Structure 1
Amino acid sequence: MLTSTNEPELRPASISAADSAALYRLLTWLSPAFPIGGFSYSSGIEWAVEAGDIGDAAGLRGWLATMLTNGSGFCDAAFLAHAYRAVERDDRTSLREVAEFAAAFVPSRERQLETTAQGRAFVEIARSAWNSAGLDEAVAQCETIVYPVAVGLVGALHGVPLAALLYGFLHAVTSNWISAGSRLVPLGQTDSQRVLAALEPVVAATADRALFASLDDIGGATFRADLASLHHETQYTRLFRS
Structure 2
Amino acid sequence: MIETVRLMAWLSPGYPVGAYAYSHGLEWAVECGDVANEESLTDWLGDVLERGALRNDLILAAHAHWAAIEGDAPGLAAINDLAVALAPTRELHLETTQQGRSFLDATRAAWGVPELDRLSEALPGAVAYPVAVGLSAGAHRMALPPVLAGFGLAFLQNLVSAALRCAPIGQSAGTRVIAALTPHVAALAATIPGSSLEDIGSATLRLDLGSARHETQYSRIFRS
Q: In the alignment, residue 31 of structure 2 is paired with which amino acid?
A: E
The answer to whether 1:90 aligns with 2:71 is: yes
Q: In the alignment, residue 189 of structure 1 is paired with which amino acid?
A: Q
Distance 1:103 1:35 in 2: 20
Partner of residue 172 from structure 2, selected from 173, 190, 197 = 190
Partner of residue 156 from structure 1, selected from 128, 132, 138 = 138
Aligned equivalent of 1:215: 197
Q: In the alignment, residue 100 of structure 1 is paired with which amino acid?
A: D
Distance 2:211 2:192 in 1: 23
Instruction: Give the structure with the higher percent helix.
Output: 2
Q: Post-superposition shift, 1:211?
A: 2.1
Instruction: Note the residue ranges of structure 1 that are not aligned, 5 or more in a row.
Output: 1-19
Q: In the alignment, residue 177 of structure 1 is paired with which amino acid?
A: L
Distance 1:28 1:49 in 2: 30
Moved beyond 4 Å, runs of 4+: none
Q: Post-superposition shift, 1:169?
A: 0.3
Distance 2:163 2:142 in 1: 30
The answer to whether 1:29 aligns with 2:10 is: yes
Instruction: Note the residue ranges of structure 2 that are not aligned, 5 or more in a row.
Output: none
Q: Could you state the TM-score of these two structures normalised by the residue count of structure 1? A: 0.90
Percent of residue pairs bearing the same amino acid type = 44
Q: Post-superposition shift, 1:186?
A: 2.5
The answer to whether 1:118 aligns with 2:92 is: no
Q: In the alignment, residue 198 of structure 2 is paired with which amino acid?
A: D
Q: Could you state the TM-score of these two structures normalised by the residue count of structure 2? A: 0.97
Aligned equivalent of 1:178: 160
Distance 1:215 1:97 in 2: 11
Q: In the alignment, residue 11 of structure 2 is paired with which amino acid?
A: L
Q: Post-superposition shift, 1:135?
A: 1.6
Matched length:
223
Asked whether the equivalents of residues 139 and 145 of structure 1 are also in contact (C-alpha less than 8 Å), the reply is: no
Larger radius of gyration: 1
Q: In the alignment, residue 213 of structure 2 is paired with which amino acid?
A: H
Q: Post-superposition shift, 1:202?
A: 1.2
Q: CA RMSD in A?
A: 1.0
Q: Counterpart of 2:114 in 1: which secondary structure?
A: coil
Aligned equivalent of 2:221: 239
